[in-house]
Amino acid sequence: MFFKKKKIIVKESRPQKTLYALAFVWVLFICSLWIFVVWAVNSMSFQIFDFANTSWTGTKTGISTFPISFWEWEEEDEKITYILLTWRGGGSHDAPDLTDTLIVAGINPVHQSISMLSIPRDLYVQYPWSTRKWRINGIYESNLSLWEELAIWKLKEKLWEIIWQEIDYYLNVDFRGFIEIVDTLGWVEVTLEENFADYEYPDGNLGYKSFILRKWTWNLDGEVALMYARSRHSTSDFDRSLRQQEIIASLRSKVWELWYFKDRKKIIELYTLFTQYVDTDMSLADMVSIWLEIRSWDETKTVSFNLNDTCYSWSPDCSSWGFLYLPIRDYFWWASVLLTKWSDVNNLDDFEEVNIFSSLIYEYPEIYTNPKEIIIYNTTNIPLYAGNLADTLSPYWFVIDKETWTQSYREKEFENSILYYNGIDSDDSTLLWLQEILNIQIQETPSPFIPNSDARIEIFLADDNSF
């Protein structure tokens, strides 16, 4: 390893309009006063943590777990807001309280981006403050009989260990609520690049039915959207998590494009559905504040991520986000579960690489929204030196084609490893992050060091134990 429906127009009389206007002014005044008080309190009682002399060393990968230069005090208007979205069966579902969908969205005001990370429901974990070990989707259910807020708190606690981010709010939605919200909005749009088929979708009567969508752009009602989001036999659980994020992003676009916030009837209808089907610790003021902030952001900066097992399966291809593996079932009562890379049945607390990955996707999303091509050159006689580094970086979604972008180079002797960059700013996140974790010298060049190369970043590896 290298590194540590029909719109109803209601006519109103003038007194009613005046009343609405006065009410709006009053609410605006209260919100402004509330924001001022919160700001004043925070200004009087904050702590600044000094990491200047702190050293974090990854014992397994050699990667610096938390690059010190990235850990800076965040101003209040720069703080990333983290929201946990869970879906559960609810109602008469055979497992009404299993949180089979777990998505943590990070809203980054500096980069005006939203990063969504899905945590697989089959991730095998140690339950917080308990000796129990089982799938993560059961944490909420196992504590629900005591106290709903406690159940969510324990789920947040475990997610904090996994992604190393403190969750600010949660939205816990059951399937019926999802269906009715989509139907109230009319539909949700999805675009399929390939035909989609599941021949074993549960029919609700202990049997199966076929669910097929052809390659096209579809407007799905609530029932069909839920089937699309829940389908398990069409591809994989990992792909399913990305479909769920696709629907969330599409709903956000639809709400804003159709200006539902200008329709009082729709607002009341949606609010009623929320109070009936959604458990949350967000106030109405919180929701409106966040919505007003993100409404004009570029939709291309809403990015979806998941965790998968591609790097540890039988496939020789190691694709992005492959930080999990499927262990031998004998040790888990023949159940299908997932573990993180360095974990085993006796050690379930190693989330180091996922910690690193989550810090990247939430804090530095432009690494993914504006990726830079990287070529790695091996200037030594050490076999597979460049390829091994590419294998280590690839799961973090860095743009490295192992077939063509890892090469040997003997035309110049390098005493120390060095990173050349061109055509990008010196404060580019990809550049800074690579410099930090590789502990490598960097140098700007007017054009690629190697002629006829299109790479913005070229890494030349020397035998200097830099990694």
133 and 182 co-located in one domain: yes
Residue 112 confidence (pLDDT) above 50: yes
pLDDT-derived band at 2 (thresholds 50, 70, 90) equals: very low
pLDDT at 48 over 60: no
Q: At residue 17, does pLDDT exceed 70?
A: no
pLDDT at residue 59 is higher than 60: no
pLDDT of residue 232: 75
Secondary structure class of 30 (helix, strand, coil): helix
Residue ranges making up the domain that contains 437:
371-461
Residues 342 and 401 in one domain: no
Containing 121, the helix (H) or strand (E) segment is: none
| Boundary (domain end) residue, out of 337, 366, 395 | 366
Cβ–Cβ under 8 Å, residues 135 and 337 = yes
Per-residue pLDDT reduced to its tens digit, 202-226: 877 778 888 999 998 999 999 999 9
CB 28 within 8 A of CB 44: no
Q: Does pLDDT of 404 surpass 80?
A: no
Within this chain, do residues 281 and 409 fall inside the same structural domain, yes or no? no
Q: Which stretches within 188-298 are classed as H helix?
A: 222-230, 237-257, 264-277, 284-294
Q: Are 403 and 390 in contact (CB under 8 A)?
A: no
For strands 113-118 and 302-306, give the pairing.
Answer: parallel
Q: pLDDT value at position 328?
A: 87
Chain-centre distance of CA 163, in angstroms?
Answer: 9
pLDDT tens-place string over residues 310-349:
777 545 556 678 899 988 888 888 888 999 988 888 889 8
Of residues 58 and 167, more confidence is placed in 167
pLDDT recorded at residue 162: 96
CB atoms within 10 A of CB 141: 16
Count of the separate structural domains present in the chain: 2
Q: How far is CA 90 from CA 175, 191, 278, 373, 440, in A?
A: 7, 28, 11, 46, 52
pLDDT: is 267 or 231 the higher one?
231
**Which amino acid appears at position 257 of this protein?**
E
Percent of the chain with pLDDT over 90: 33
| Beta strands 133-135; 124-126: pairing state | antiparallel
Q: With a threshold of 0.85, does the pTM exceed it?
A: no
What integer pLDDT is reported at residue 22 of this predicted model?
41
> Under a CB-based contact definition with an 8 Å cutoff, are residues 321 and 368 in contact?
no
The yes-or-no verdict on residue 457 having pLDDT over 60 is yes
| Of 268, 289, 58, residue with least CA distance to 169 | 289
**DSSP readout, 16-29?**
HHHHHHHHHHHHHH
CATH label of the domain that carries residue 230:
3.40.630.190
Assess whether 298 and 193 both reside in one domain: yes
Q: Are residues 380 and 336 in the same domain?
A: no
Give 234's pLDDT tier (boundaries 50, 70, 90).
Answer: low
pLDDT band per the 50, 70, 90 thresholds, residue 186 = confident
Q: Say if residue 337 is in the same domain as residue 407.
A: no
Q: Within 13 Å of residue 277, how many CA atoms lie on the same side as its CB?
A: 22
Residues 344, 424 share a domain: no
pLDDT score at 10: 34
In the prediction, which pLDDT does 391 show?
A: 83
State the pLDDT at residue 236: 66
Same domain? 250 vs 103: yes
Query: Of 168, 106, 109, 164, which is closest to residue 362 (Cα–Cα)?
Result: 106
* Mean pLDDT (whole number) for 391-406: 78
Handedness of CA 217, 219, 222, 224 (dihedral sign): negative
Residues 136 and 212 in one domain: yes
